[in-house]
Structure 1
Amino acid sequence: MPLARLIPALSLSLLTACVHTPANNVIVEAQSDCPLQLHTGQNVTVSLPSNPTTGYRWAIQDSAGGVLRSLSPEVYSSADNGQVLGSGGQSTWRFQAFAAGNGRLRLTYQQPWEPEAEPAQTFDCSITVN
């Protein structure tokens, strides 16, 4: 087959393969999105409301280390791009399911200088990787 005819056919087959690939990224934005059932290799993006100007920060207490690995540190972004002082935004973490098993992703929202104080919020998600 001539190269000119092979390239479009190959491009179409690659595009078709991408369309039929199961969703590889799971987005979690609330406790109600849990528990999670994942497959090895799937990525998980956890995005929780946050407002560091209040002194409160999300801290990972349990990272489901036996089944998830971190792909990035926490990234904070605000909806107004920092234009309004004291406005809230989102804290986001990315993980990848790397091994079959069970784990727990647990975060607490509290002021770092008061680790003994009851957290203002908690996020506790059971993870199962097949």
Structure 2
Amino acid sequence: MKQTPATLMLSEADQGRELEVRPGDRLSIRLPENASTGYRWTVEHYDAALIEPWALESAYPAAGAGAAGEVCFVFRARKAGSTELVLKHSRSWEHALAPLARFRLQVLVQP
């Protein structure tokens, strides 16, 4: 009997977690963002053989400069193995500066 793929809903509170998933499962990571400050969440590191980007969505409910919102990264597990998934919160033009924050997950894709 084939299992239906699961979608794990994650937030800032899941920073540093270790997750076990199966091929086909999705990780949906929702993080706060205020793009008008220049700080955006971007993908810094993951093993593309084990997980793949599936979707990227931004939501800014209030219109206007300075409005806060959120970004949602969705990844899909591909095959068995272990990888660290790292997202960074930084300004794209500030290459010499450390990111304002990082979001890390250890993802173990079970066979």
| 1:87 and 2:70 correspond | no
- Is the contact made by 2:41 and 2:87 (CA closer than 8 Å) also made in structure 1? yes
TM-score scaled by length of structure 2:
0.86
Q: What residue number does 2:108 align with?
A: 128
Aligned residues: 107
Task: Flag the structure with larger Rg.
Answer: 1
Query: Which ranges in structure 1 are unaligned for 5 or more consecutive residues?
Result: 1-20
Pair 1:42–1:23, CA change in 2 (3 A):
closer
Runs of 4+ in 1 over 3 A off after TM superposition: none
Q: What residue number does 1:27 align with?
A: 9
Q: Percent identity?
A: 21
Pair 1:23–1:71, CA change in 2 (3 A):
closer
| 1:60 and 2:43 correspond | yes
Structure with the bigger percentage of strand? 2
CA apart distance, 1:87: 1.8
- Is the contact made by 1:56 and 1:111 (CA closer than 8 Å) also made in structure 2? yes
Query: Which ranges in structure 2 are unaligned for 5 or more consecutive residues?
Result: none
Root mean square deviation, CA, Å: 1.8
Structure with the bigger percentage of helix? 1
